Amino acid sequence: MHIPNWLAMGVGQIDDLIENKLLGREPKIPLEGIKMAQRPMYVNSQKAVEELGFPQSPVNEALYHAIQWFRDKGYY
């Protein structure tokens, strides 16, 4: 789902006004997070594989293990 940048920033600013400025709480939608999400970010794990022997696994296997971990810890 794509949310336009202008909409995300507007909602974030309203959230910041209500949560942070009026109620003194941490905003649920931090403006810094919105700004970071607007930037293209690319990740390549090749260096970790080559230098650290970082194990690689198929996405479905990694998701299975992640879900199992959350269940074991009582989060899911």
On the question of pLDDT at 55 being above 90, the answer is: no
CA–CA separation, 35 and 21 (whole Å): 19
pTM exceeds 0.85 for this model: no
Closest CA to 34 of 63, 14, 56: 14
CA–CA separation, 32 and 37 (whole Å): 9
As given in the structure block, the two tokens for residue 41 are 């970010």
The 10s digit of each residue's pLDDT in 4-30 is 999 999 999 999 999 999 999 999 999
Domain borders along the chain are 1-41, 44-76
CA–CA separation, 48 and 73 (whole Å): 27
